[in-house]
Amino acid sequence: MYTRKVYKIKDMALWTRYETLGFLLYIIAWIIIYTFLGVEWLKIPWTPMALIGTAVAFVIGFQNNSVYSRIWEARKIWGGIVNTSRTFGIFVKDMVKDTDGYPAESEIKILTYRHIAWMTALRYAMRERKLWETTSDHKTNTEWGIFPPESKTTLEEELKPYLNNEELKYTLSKSNKQTALLNLQSKHLKELEQRGGIWEFSFLEIENIIKELFTLQGQTERIKNFPYPRQYATLNKYFMWLLILLLPIALVPQFIEISASIATESPIIGKWFPWLAAPIYTAVAWIFHTMERIGRTGENPFEGTANDVPISTIARGIEIDLRQNLDEDPDSIPQQFEATYDIQF
């Protein structure tokens, strides 16, 4: 996600430059056709164009509102994971006590590290590509060579520092690895309660936190596994392109008519006036296309593009907090993921 205070116009221009150039060449082709082939009869009245434009503006607005709601809900869910994780870390540290052969410090570290493993498994699950997640394949999203951290290492490599061999093997054998880790947490807490390592009331409190983590996990999985309805996304795209493709047939003849009236007083201006349709059309097409593309880009807030919810950064921030809470050596705690081109993932 961009961290700049101002989303620069230059960034937007670079992001849409291929489409913008296509719009400019398209309108120039239509101006040449009307100017040199004498097809002024081929034109569309402004009334149907206005109706199409209104419909397109409506569906794009609906899409963008819906997509923003998905992004904001995803961010709130991960905000909940932040708060619940910190609560879990504090409760475990304060409520787990020594028992024969089981020092509290060791048990606290195991529980805390397993929770970090849960966050790691969850963010990896959120980064798995779905069939409908195609935004990251666009040339302007790949040309910079920046990808989320999950694409650079495997889940197994990331889990090794936090789990013993038996737990790692068990976790990797499950299809839903984050659920498997929460199951291990609950089982471990039950064992602690049975041997007196944790008071019964404290056990129930921490189990409620496990329940909340299950709820938050289910919510983020729901957004990941249920795409923005295709009937809205597909029709929206078709309507937008229909408007962009038909607009020159209404716009250029209108400019030619205006140029004819201007030519009586200023022949030079009248001759070149139809070419003014090129920047006007390019601006209008760019606005409609860019707004529609912004909506498409935000449909999947965990895909791993520059405008998604930065779950990797959030998870690493929680890990740093939890390990500092254990009073670990600062040199052994991993650093926050670096922002590349002012982008956090």
What CA–CA distances, in Å, run from 229 to 68, 74, 207, 259, 301?
A: 14, 17, 36, 45, 15
Determine contact, residues 211/202, Cβ cutoff 8 Å: no
Kindly state whether residue 162 falls inside one of the protein's structural domains: yes
Render the burial of 242-265: b for 16+ CB within 10 Å, e for the rest.
Answer: ebbeebbbbbbbbbbeebeebeee
Query: Which H or E run contains 167?
Result: helix 165-172
Task: Name the pTM for this structure.
Answer: 0.86
Question: For residue 2, what pLDDT is reported?
Answer: 43
User: Whole domain around residue 172: which residue ranges?
Assistant: 9-332
pLDDT block averages, 10 residues each, the chain of length 345: 52 80 93 84 86 89 88 94 95 86 85 95 92 74 76 92 94 94 94 88 91 96 87 81 92 84 76 87 92 84 85 94 91 86 77
Please give the backbone phi and psi of residue 11, each rounded to the nearest 5 degrees, phi first: -65, -45
Kindly state whether residue 342 falls inside one of the protein's structural domains: no
Kindly state whether residue 344 falls inside one of the protein's structural domains: no
User: How far apart (Å, rounded) are the C-alpha atoms in residues 294 and 252?
Assistant: 28
User: How far apart (Å, rounded) are the C-alpha atoms in residues 280 and 286?
Assistant: 10
Kindly state whether residue 337 falls inside one of the protein's structural domains: no
Determine contact, residues 92/108, Cβ cutoff 8 Å: yes
**Closest Cα partner for 345 from 318, 317, 305, 294?**
305
Kindly state whether residue 340 falls inside one of the protein's structural domains: no
What is the DSSP secondary-structure string of 37-88?
Answer: H--TT----HHHHHHHHHHHHHHHHHHHHHHHHHHHHHHHHHHHHHHHHHHH
Number of domains in the chain: 1
Kindly state whether residue 47 falls inside one of the protein's structural domains: yes
Question: For residue 3, what pLDDT is reported?
Answer: 45
Kindly state whether residue 257 falls inside one of the protein's structural domains: yes
Kindly state whether residue 3 falls inside one of the protein's structural domains: no
